[in-house]
Amino acid sequence: MKSFDNLNNWREEFLIQASPSDPDNFPFVVIGNKIDVDGGNSRVVSEKKARAWCASKGNIPYYETSAKEGINVEEAFQCIAKDALQSGEEEEIYLPDTIDVGSSSQPRSSGCEC
């Protein structure tokens, strides 16, 4: 339940840090994991409650998954990838200059500097 209770804070903090141009439509997905445990009967957050939260945030997609059994994992990743690609077409992506950590500004000497 602690993870579910933190969803609002995590989402808001992410939006603050990422500063997307359209935060209300930034693609998110919520994943309820471990549905394989005890046949799904040991869940802490009901599917209804999770779906209601997602609906209250603009119909965020919700998936119930089992990483162990491979249930809905691929579908969840495909969903967020598709949504991210669609929103990415509308925004210019900032890519910082890369730094070559292997190069040095000083020429290397052939001898030992010890």
**pLDDT tens-digit readout, 12-48:** 999 999 888 888 888 899 999 888 888 767 788 889 9
Confidence at residue 85, expressed as pLDDT on a 0 to 100 scale: 84
**pLDDT tens-digit readout, 71-88:** 999 999 999 899 888 876
Query: Apex CA 12: angle with CA 79 and CA 57, to 5°?
Result: 55
Confidence at residue 90, expressed as pLDDT on a 0 to 100 scale: 56
CA 91 to chain centre: 18
On average, the pLDDT of the chain sits at 82
- 29 with 76: CB under 8 angstroms? yes
Q: How far apart are CA 12 and CA 8, in angstroms?
A: 6
The structural domains of the chain, ordered by start, are 2-88 (3.40.50.300)
